[in-house]
Amino acid sequence: MNGRDDDTPGQRATTAADGIGPGVESQQGVEPAHAEPSQARPDQAGRRPVEGAPVRNGPGPGGDIVLEGRGITRDYHVSGGFFGGRKTVHAVRGVDFSVARGKTLAIVGESGCGKSTLARIITLIDPPTTGTLLIEGRPVQISGGRPPRDLRSRVQIVFQNPHGSLNPRQKIGNVLMEPLELNTDLPAAERRDRARGMLEKVGLLPEHFDRYPHMFSGGQRQRIAIARALMVNPAILVLDEPVSALDLSVQAQVLNLLADLQKEFGLTYVFISHDLSVVRHIADDVMVMLRGEVVERGSRDAVFADPQHAYTRTLFAATPVTNLDAIRARVERKASRRRAMQEQVASR
Amino acid sequence: MAPILEIRNLSVSFETSTGAFHAVKGIDLSVDRGEVLAIVGESGSGKSVAMLAVMGLLPDTATVTADVMSFAGRDLKTLSDSERRAIIGREITMIFQEPMASLNPCYTVGFQIEEVLRLHLGMTGRSARTRAVELLTAVGLPEPADKLRSYPHQLSGGQCQRVMIAMAIACNPTLLIADEPTTALDVTIQKQILDLLLSLQEEHGMALILITHDMGVVAETADRVVVQYQGRKMEEASVLNLFEAPQNPYTRALLSALPENATGRRLSTVRDYMDQSAGGAS
Ligand SMILES: Nc1ncnc2c1ncn2[C@@H]1O[C@H](COP(=O)(O)OP(=O)(O)OP(=O)(O)O)[C@@H](O)[C@H]1O
Ligand SMILES: Nc1ncnc2c1ncn2[C@@H]1O[C@H](COP(=O)(O)OP(=O)(O)OP(=O)(O)O)[C@@H](O)[C@H]1O
Ligand SMILES: Nc1ncnc2c1ncn2[C@@H]1O[C@H](COP(=O)(O)OP(=O)(O)O)[C@@H](O)[C@H]1O
Ligand SMILES: [Mg+2]
Ligand SMILES: [Mg+2]
Ligand SMILES: [Mg+2]
């Protein structure tokens, strides 16, 4: 065919292990490769001009910071040293970040690098082991008790595992109406209308209202989780792999919906995804994590145009592509391997 | 050579409170030894349901009919329970779509993998333990020996997914059905997993049915592609033909929804595309 028989398009040969080695050990050189000067970020040690005081950034080009983490860490203690002792897993190791109102911070990174752990900290489900989380400029401490209800409803999460986050005995209509019952005084008819409207917005049907979670496909459950999080008009929404089970068209519908809501209500998103084409589409800023640490961050354009860290480059290189020449070459390689095997069998 | 799995006119309907719902409407599908068949299509189009029908894992509310549903010449519709146990989970295995929900939360990962090895291969004790570590290493889990002592909730989404994959390949199946097996994985580990599955397919002639929404993954792994929409097969083509000259309007619409093809902040959906096509007429 086209005569190429190099092993695949050259960009995808490396694996994580090849790419990262030294970069991980020496964290110094890799911190904010593209830190935007316009956004007043904490420096590497997490210091701020006025520690602990409400941070009110002026209406500078970066906008006001509604969500900020300083030196966030999270350890898990598990049994499992070799002689039955306890072991500590450092899931998040000192992460700083900030997101301006109405913006989207995308987090990408190796599987198991601490993204979901960070998501649970941001949404006040788990406390950090150390470090400070600030929401709308105020430090939030949940280790001493539950956060106030109004704060809880302002920060919502779409879990990575929609199945596990839905009560199997609760009909979908009730799943969507429940947050309104808990957080608003809306009459029942209004709650019902809003829930039906939201079902439609995420591409589901009115007859789905009275079905149970197990009656849905994976992608349908994922959309139910998104719809539920949007019901209470949150200010900050953390979405953990929210479109991974959606076909391109439904994915487009959901991403368009998120963009519309962001524009209309100034929603702030933290968007965790392994799909770099999605990240490139929706993110304002991108943060790349590896083994609990941030190895690269910057504006979407800067990170995609000129990735600084070896791991980021490895990620880009491993992204599968729909290139016709590459498909031709691969198909031809497999055919010739088969021919060779058949000849071998025949010659025995 | 007869296909390893052959399905003709498969239909599945569910009883619901609003009447019967037809999730799969007369699908034909076959896969050969050593072949990679990708199934793509709309969310809710019956991809998972069709494969769960093959596995015999649908709930009692489902009615399954098919003219032919055979594996390696054996009729899957009329298997006795003991015949079924010898095939399902051993010769045909499945990586389920929602990994975190598919592992048993009450048992350690090691227990669950070793259970598969014991049940289907009669492996126990140290040899099962060694094999389990080997499998977790193959799917790229760091500190595999420690991970055997973990419960599913102590693992990340992608780590659970890799445990599921390890369990599905543990017995070198003849047919592996992988329902979106890499959704929770970053692209470097995804690559490692796909390479692993392709090497099993080459070395053991394993047949692979790969359900995915990722067109890049289709382009880099599939031999043949089936496109599903609303319970029906819309198109079937070799991987090259599908990308070079998609025939069906739904397939063309689906491909046009790639985020790379977005105009500005707006992504096009299948409905936009259909509206456009219809717009010319009105
Ligand atoms: N409850 C827990 N107990 C012990 N370890 C845990 C617990 N939860 C998570 N971990 C570990 O912490 C690390 C980070 O997990 P996390 O779920 O945040 O990863 P992630 O970045 O979301 O990965 P993925 O992309 O695979 O979902 C992993 O190594 C995981 O095994
Ligand atoms: N137990 C059930 N009861 C009723 N309907 C069901 C049940 N299981 C699945 N369905 C429906 O059958 C259809 C097909 O589901 P299936 O899981 O096969 O979708 P899918 O093609 O795998 O979609 P996705 O890509 O979103 O996973 C869906 O519309 C789903 O809602
Ligand atoms: N038990 C069920 N009762 C009613 N409808 C169902 C049931 N199971 C699946 N469906 C419907 O069948 C369709 C196909 O779902 P599924 O095969 O899971 O889709 P997907 O292509 O996303 O994997 C969906 O519209 C779903 O709502
Ligand atoms: Mg996660
Ligand atoms: Mg993907
Ligand atoms: Mg499915």
Residues 241-300 of A with CB under 8 A from B: 241, 244-253, 255-256, 259, 274-278, 280-281
Query: Distance, in angstroms, between B188 CA and closest chain A CA?
Result: 5
**Residue B10 forms beta bridges with which residues?**
B27
Place of tokens 């409207």: A197
How far apart are alpha carbons A103 and B234 in whole angstroms? 39
Write the ipTM: 0.90
Kindly report the number of other CB atoms within 10 A of residue A257's CB atom: 18
Q: Under 8 Å CB-to-CB from B38, ≥6 apart: which residues?
A: B209, B210, B211, B212, B217, B218, B221, B222, B224, B225, B226, B239
B76 and B6 in contact (C-beta within 8 Å)?
A: no
Q: Sign of dihedral through CA atoms B68, B72, B74, B80?
A: negative
pLDDT of residue A84: 64
Q: Closest Cα partner for A119 from A273, A324, A223?
A: A273
pLDDT of residue A44: 36
Q: Closest Cα partner for A267 from A126, A158, A111?
A: A158
pLDDT of residue A195: 95
How far apart are alpha carbons B5 and A202 in whole angstroms? 35
Note the pLDDT tens digit of each residue in B178-208: 999 999 999 999 999 999 999 999 999 999 9
Closest partner residue to B97 among A87, A218, A277, by Cβ?
A218
Q: Is A205 in the pocket of ligand 3 (CB under 6 A)?
A: no
Domain architecture of chain A: domains with CATH: 25-154+234-347 (3.40.50.300)
Kindly report the number of other CB atoms within 10 A of residue A17's CB atom: 11
Residue nearest to atom 2 of ligand 1 (CA): B154
How far apart are alpha carbons A12 and A8 in whole angstroms? 7
How far apart are alpha carbons B225 and A218 in whole angstroms? 21
Average pLDDT of the residues in B46-65: 97
Chain B residue closest to A319 (CA)?
A: B187
**Residue A109 forms beta bridges with which residues?**
A289
For residue A289, the surrounding DSSP H or E stretch is strand A285-290
A104 and A262 in contact (C-beta within 8 Å)?
A: yes
What average pLDDT is seen over chain B?
92
3-state secondary structure chain B: CCCCEEEEEEEEEEEECCEEEEEEEEEEEEECCCCEEEEEECCCCCHHHHHHHHHCCCCCCEEEECCEEEECCEEHHHCCHHHHHHHECCCEEEECCCHHHHCCCCCCHHHHHHHHHHHHHCCCHHHHHHHHHHHHHHCCCCCHHHHCCCCHHHCCHHHHHHHHHHHHHCCCCCEEEEECCCCCCCHHHHHHHHHHHHHHHHHHCCEEEEECCCHHHHHHHCCEEEEEECCEEEEEEEHHHHHHCCCCHHHHHHHHCCHHHCECCECCCHHHHHHHHHHCCC
Best of B164, B188, B242, B251 to disrupt the A interface (most A CBs within 10 Å) is B188
How far apart are alpha carbons A190 and A64 in whole angstroms? 33
Q: Over 80: is that where the pLDDT of B157 sits?
A: yes
Q: For chain A, which ranges sit under pLDDT 50? A: 1-61
Residues 20-59 of A with CB under 8 A from B: none
Residues of chain B in contact with residue A111, where contact means CB-CB under 8 angstroms, are 156-159, 161-162, 184-186, 189
Q: What are the tokens at A270?
A: 């933290």
Kindly report the number of other CB atoms within 10 A of residue B153's CB atom: 11
Q: Which of B18-22, B204-208, B257-261 has the lowest mean pLDDT?
A: B257-261
pLDDT of residue A79: 77
Q: To the nearest whole percent, how much of chain B has pLDDT over 90?
A: 83
For chains A and B, what is the number of CB pairs under 8 angstroms?
A: 205
Q: What are the tokens at A46?
A: 């997490």
Q: Which of A57-71, A278-292, B40-54, B79-93 has the lowest mean pLDDT?
A: A57-71
Place of tokens 């998104």: A226
Strand pairing category for B36-41 and B207-211: parallel
How far apart are alpha carbons A172 and A227 in whole angstroms? 10
Distance from the first to the final alpha carbon of chain B:
50
Ligand 3 atom having least distance to the Cα of B228: 21
Confidence of residue B257 (pLDDT cuts 50, 70, 90): confident
Lateral strand order in the sheet of A285-290: A155-158, A236-240, A268-272, A104-109, A285-290, A293-299
Q: Is B58 in the pocket of ligand 3 (CB under 6 A)?
A: no
Q: Does B150 touch chain A (CB under 8 A)?
A: yes
Q: Over 80: is that where the pLDDT of B148 sits?
A: yes
A253 and A227 in contact (C-beta within 8 Å)?
A: no
Q: What is the DSSP letter of A112?
A: T
Ligand 2 residue neighbourhood (C-beta within 6 Å) = A 214-220, 245; B 14, 16, 21, 23, 43-49, 59, 61, 97
Residues in chain A: 348
Q: Does A320 touch chain B (CB under 8 A)?
A: yes
pLDDT of residue B200: 93
Closest partner residue to B240 among A252, A274, A331, by Cβ?
A331
The residue among B264 and A83 whose pLDDT is bigger is: B264
**Amino acid letter for position A38:** S
**Amino acid letter for position B147:** K
A243 and A235 in contact (C-beta within 8 Å)?
A: no
Note the pLDDT tens digit of each residue in B111-143: 999 999 999 999 999 999 999 999 999 999 999
Residues in chain B: 282
B106-126 exposure pattern, b = at least 16 Cβ within 10 A, e = fewer: eebbbebbbebbeebeebeee
Alpha helices in A91-211 (DSSP H): 115-122, 149-154, 162-165, 172-183, 188-201
Label residue A49 left, alpha or beta by phi (over 0 means left) and psi (-120 to 50 means alpha): alpha
How far apart are alpha carbons B119 and B134 in whole angstroms? 18
Residues 177-196 of A with CB under 8 A from B: none
Q: What are the tokens at A190?
A: 């209004």
Place of tokens 């009447």: B19
Q: What is the DSSP letter of A82?
A: T
Query: Distance, in angstroms, between A298 CA and closest chain B CA?
Result: 19
The residue among B280 and B152 whose pLDDT is bigger is: B152
B207 and B201 in contact (C-beta within 8 Å)?
A: yes
pLDDT of residue A81: 55
How far apart are alpha carbons A211 and A199 in whole angstroms? 12
For residue A109, the surrounding DSSP H or E stretch is strand A104-109
pLDDT of residue B101: 85
Residues 213-242 of A with CB under 8 A from B: 214-221, 223, 240-241
Closest partner residue to A12 among B191, B239, B269, by Cβ?
B191
Residues of chain B in contact with residue A219, where contact means CB-CB under 8 angstroms, are 43-44, 213
